[in-house]
């Protein structure tokens, strides 16, 4: 996730454990922080979680995951479908919505085109 590091000066982490409840941990594909957390297992909510969808993902799983991240204070969750080159965003203010050209957080602090994300 070089684009998060270079364009937005975020600390991005791949497949790092994030505690979402006292007894539950998730491993987001990517999570981004304004600065690197000083802990091995992250407990503070990142500013962004990114999940890559696979053909096996079910809608219920995606929605449950989004709800869990929002419940701990993650302001935005991006779901990316690399096969179909599509994306959707979920946040507490605007809900769940598909993206056509540009994906961004609700406050606009992180904004990227789908072309940038899916460039190979």
Topology at the third CATH level for domain 2-118: tt1808, chain A (3.90.1570)
pLDDT digits (tens, 9 = 90+) for 7-64: 567 888 998 999 999 999 999 999 999 888 999 999 999 999 999 999 998 989 999 9
**What per-residue confidence (pLDDT) applies to 23?**
94
pTM across the whole model: 0.88
Q: How far apart are CA 22 and CA 24, in angstroms?
A: 6
The more confident residue out of 60 and 107 is 60
Please state, as a whole number, how many other Cβ atoms lie within 10 Å of the Cβ of residue 112.
17
């Amino acid at each position: 996730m070089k684009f998060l590091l270079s364009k937005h000066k975020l600390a991005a982490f791949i497949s790092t454990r994030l505690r979402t409840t006292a007894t539950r941990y998730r491993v987001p594909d990517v999570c981004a922080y304004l600065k690197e957390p000083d802990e091995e297992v992250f407990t503070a909510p990142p500013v962004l979680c990114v999940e890559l969808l696979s053909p096996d993902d079910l809608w219920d799983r995606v929605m449950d995951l989004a709800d869990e991240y929002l419940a701990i204070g993650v302001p935005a969750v991006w779901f990316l479908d690399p096969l179909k080159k599509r994306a959707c965003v979920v946040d507490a203010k605007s809900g769940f919505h598909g993206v056509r050209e540009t994906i961004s957080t609700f406050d606009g602090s992180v904004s990227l085109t789908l072309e940038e994300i899916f460039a190979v």
